[in-house]
Amino acid sequence: MVKTQDRLRFDVPLYTVTEAARIVDVHASTLSTWAQGYVRRFPKRSDVVGDPIITYLKPAGPRRPSIPFVGLTEATVLAAIRRSGVPMQRIRPAVAAIKTGLGIDHALASRRLYADGAELLFDYAESHQGTAEGQAAKHLVVIRSGQRVFTDVIMEYLRRIEYASDGYAELIHVPSYEHAEVVVDPTRSFGAPIFERGGSRLDDVLQRFWAGESLDELSAEFGVPASQLEDVLRVTSRRAA
């Protein structure tokens, strides 16, 4: 029998593309190509096709959720790669090689990515020397104490993912914030971002602020330090700009 928690992580669409993009801090059009793939057509040239690279479930209707928690985790890893400055079109083949090398479903949401992914990426770069794809993969790996590990930017994101006993992600500390302790947990608030302290939904607190309540009032009521509220407002304002 499938546990409810497992269904919530893998089989239940919790986020629209726009909501997932906001959480991982990428443009919605970018996340859409990760979820649904793309075809780009050019005059007098062959089409350029990109396959989907995160888990996407067919939505029940327009503007309905289509991304399960496992897909959000995969998108978080891809956002880390993107933040490293490596063009996603160059790294897509290496991502596919990691999935093949790990030999499991949802490889990007697995603890094994944290343990073995850098080694597989390095091997891909070595076997594709002299190509743009190999060079891109090489930029994501460094050697420390004789071991191949992900660059600091990627490790910063991976450390924000907590894994269940089955080896797959069960909670994400949202990486967008510098001070605010915001998490995404599919078992709480339908997977919406919440403050780790107190469990209040981010959107609920923000709506109260936009309605005119002060940071001090909100901090006292929700038990969230004012510095964390300020951090959330800073990120929200940047996205709205």
- Cα(128)–Cα(186) distance, rounded to whole angstroms? 38
Model confidence at 76, in pLDDT bands (50, 70, 90)? very high
Euclidean distance between CA atoms 109 and 169, whole angstroms: 6
Q: Which helix (H) or strand (E) holds 57?
A: none
Averaged pLDDT of the chain: 92
Mean pLDDT of 194-213: 94
Q: What is the pLDDT of residues 85-100, one digit of tens each?
A: 988 888 989 999 999 9
Whole-structure pTM over 0.85, yes or no?
Answer: yes
Assigned fold of 176-241: Arc Repressor Mutant, subunit A (1.10.10)
Task: With a cut of 60, say whether residue 3 has pLDDT above it.
Answer: no
Domain boundaries, the chain: 4-165, 176-241
- Strands (E) located in the chain: 38-40, 48-50, 141-144, 147-150, 161-163, 169-173, 182-184, 194-195
Q: Report angle CA 187, 98, 15 to the nearest 5 degrees.
A: 30
What is the amino acid identity at position 34? Answer: W
Give the pLDDT confidence score for residue 146 in this predicted structure.
Answer: 86
pLDDT of residue 2: 43
Structure tokens at 188: 């709480």
Q: In degrees rounded to 5, what are phi and psi of residue 162?
A: -105, 145
Mean pLDDT of 47-74: 91
Instruction: Return the higher-pLDDT residue of 40 and 221.
Output: 221
